[in-house]
Amino acid sequence: MQSVKKSATTVYDYAVIGSGLSGLCIANALSKVSNNVILIEAADTFGGQNRSIQSKVGPLNNGLRFLPDTELSQKAVAFLETLLATHLAPESLENPVVSFEAGGLKPFVGFGEKPPAFYDELSYFLNNRQLKLTLEPHEWTPILFNNYSGQFLPRSYVTKFQIENKKVTGVMVNGQKTIQATNFIFCGAVGDLKTLLPDDILSSRMLQKLSKNTYWTAVCLDLFHNHEVTVLPNLHVLNGTTEDELGPCLGSFLPANEINGQKIQCSQWISFVDNEESEDSEKAGAALKKIKRQIKRAYPNALENLIFERILIVPNHSGNGDLKLSANGTLPNTENLWIASPAMHQQKNILGALLQAEFILSSLGCHPLGTQVEVKSPDLPQERPTPDLDI
Ligand SMILES: Cc1cc2nc3c(=O)[nH]c(=O)nc-3n(C[C@H](O)[C@H](O)[C@H](O)COP(=O)(O)OP(=O)(O)OC[C@H]3O[C@@H](n4cnc5c(N)ncnc54)[C@H](O)[C@@H]3O)c2cc1C
């Protein structure tokens, strides 16, 4: 990875916006076919939702992670292995989901007639077979980043796309600098396109669809227990008996670690609240309290003398990217803007991030799994003067 030192008039071949898993995959592969790639990231560092978290028990995933064993997962893992240049030895493990019913843990049999409003977000996890890989998601992102040979621009929030004659010519960063490129790949949340694009780009139908969409905020809790609560690796669905609008939570216990003679076990939990309601901090607080109540119900001593707890609230965690793209993954009427959010893929989440990245790369003529083809750039002028660019 290079630090940014190009001149103010640089026109990059590719500007990748967002350095989460999808952005890192795309930037990584593109930097192998072009030495003129920039990766623009709003946060201080790369990794997005899959950044690595330093904890009492060593580096951890940024919250619960689960990969169902499906054909699409195998395809996504093969793509990832190529980019990481590492064999991840996918192993299919039986891992029946359990829930707490009638005083004990039982195989989870479904939500009956009243599925939670965020059922779509949960259904992904409710697969009784999971894929275990030799590396965890938080270990993928540093490798992808280290193997990326283009430029990285952190603390740089793209605030607007500049569009002329159906082509993006530049992006405004932090409301003050313009970065120009021939191709733009957007790897942020699809819902943000409503404000990032000039008014006349999305049709009123598209805008309506984006607005109608329900986006979910993930409410996550990592607990560090001062003893081994359970050796069960199973995914838990905990809901309790009272019916409320908060819905169930999902979670699992990681293997316990012995640190300075003390056993420490981490458990990671997730539930969802509607994005619109998540701005009401009481709603997220109530969801967190409910998670704890359910854990206590299933494991009465689990919350005693907790060593540490970590709360993570992730807006726009998911939602359907109900935005019809052109067949090549570009935004209609904007021929050099590719949309790589997993929300655009039938398979959301990590797998959607990987598979949408693979699809966009192949649309760009870049095939990490096969031969790499030089990308044909839309015919924009190669150098344009940019005032006030001092990055
Ligand atoms: C707690 C939690 C648990 C999860 N569990 C699972 C799981 O078990 N299994 C699974 O498959 N998936 C899981 N997911 C979802 C999965 O992690 C995400 O779907 C996936 O990481 C999305 O990757 P991404 O690259 O598309 O987006 P992100 O990781 O969100 O990255 C987007 C990046 O773009 C940057 N960005 C956004 N907008 C802009 C802008 N305008 N300008 C500049 N930068 C911008 C952001 O700062 C961010 O770094 C979980 C997510 C969370 C939060």
Residue numbers of the chain with a pLDDT score lower than 70? 1-8, 241-243, 278-280, 317-322, 370-391
Number of Cβ within a 10 Å radius of residue 225: 25
Dihedral sign for Cα atoms in the order 82, 87, 88, 94: positive
Ligand 1 centre to CA of 111 (Å) is: 27
Distances (CA, A) of 304 to 55, 133, 224, 250: 19, 32, 10, 20
Q: Which of 302, 318, 334 is the last residue of a domain?
A: 318
56 in the same domain as 10:
yes
Rounded to whole angstroms, the Cα distance separating 74 from 62 reads: 22
Q: Pick from 15, 17, 18, 20: which is nearest to 34 by CA?
A: 15
Quick one: 269 and 291 in the same domain? yes
Shared-domain flag, residues 166 and 284: no
SS3 of the chain: helix, strand, coil, percent, to 5: 25, 30, 45
Both 106 and 221 in one domain: the answer is yes
pLDDT at position 275 = 76
Hey, how many other C-beta atoms are within 10 angstroms of the C-beta on 94? 9
Q: State how far Cα 100 lies from the chain centre.
A: 29
pLDDT tens-digit readout, 145-171: 999 999 999 999 999 999 999 999 999
pLDDT at residue 25, as a whole number? 98
**How far out from the chain centre does Cα 254 lie?**
21
Of the residues 269, 298, 318, the one at which a domain ends: 318
Q: In angstroms, what is the span from residue 8 Cα to ligand 1's centroid?
A: 30
**Sign of the Cα pseudo-torsion (46, 183, 341, 160, in order):** positive
Contact 237, 291 (CB under 8 A): no
Structural domains in the chain (count): 2
**Per-residue pLDDT at 364:** 96
> Which residue's C-alpha comes closest to atom 19 of ligand 1?
349
My answer on whether 71 and 138 are in the same domain is: yes
The domain that holds 195 is classified in CATH as: 3.50.50.60
- Same domain (yes/no): 118, 163: no
**What was the pLDDT predicted at 274?**
84
Segments forming the whole domain that contains residue 220: 94-130+214-318
Last residue of a domain, one of 261, 283, 318: 318
Q: Could you give the count of Cα atoms lying within 13 Å of 76 in the half-sphere of its Cβ?
A: 26
**Residues whose beta carbon lies within 6 Å of some atom of ligand 1:** 17-23, 40-43, 48-50, 63-66, 157-158, 187-188, 192, 218, 220, 270, 312, 314, 317, 341-342, 349-351, 353
Q: What is the pTM of this model?
A: 0.90
Among 80, 196, 197, 349, name the best residue to mutate to test ligand 1's pocket (greatest count of ligand atoms within 8 A of Cβ): 349
Q: Are residues 112 and 126 in the same domain?
A: yes
Q: Which residue type sits at 10?
A: T
Q: Which ligand 1 atom sits closest to the C-alpha of 51?
A: 29
In the chain the first and final C-alpha atoms are separated, in Å, by 16
Ligand 1 centroid to residue 21 C-alpha, Å? 7
**pLDDT, position 108:** 93
The closest-lying atom of ligand 1 relative to the alpha carbon of residue 340 is 26
Residue 270 alpha carbon, nearest atom of ligand 1? 1
> What does the DSSP 8-state code read for residue 283?
H
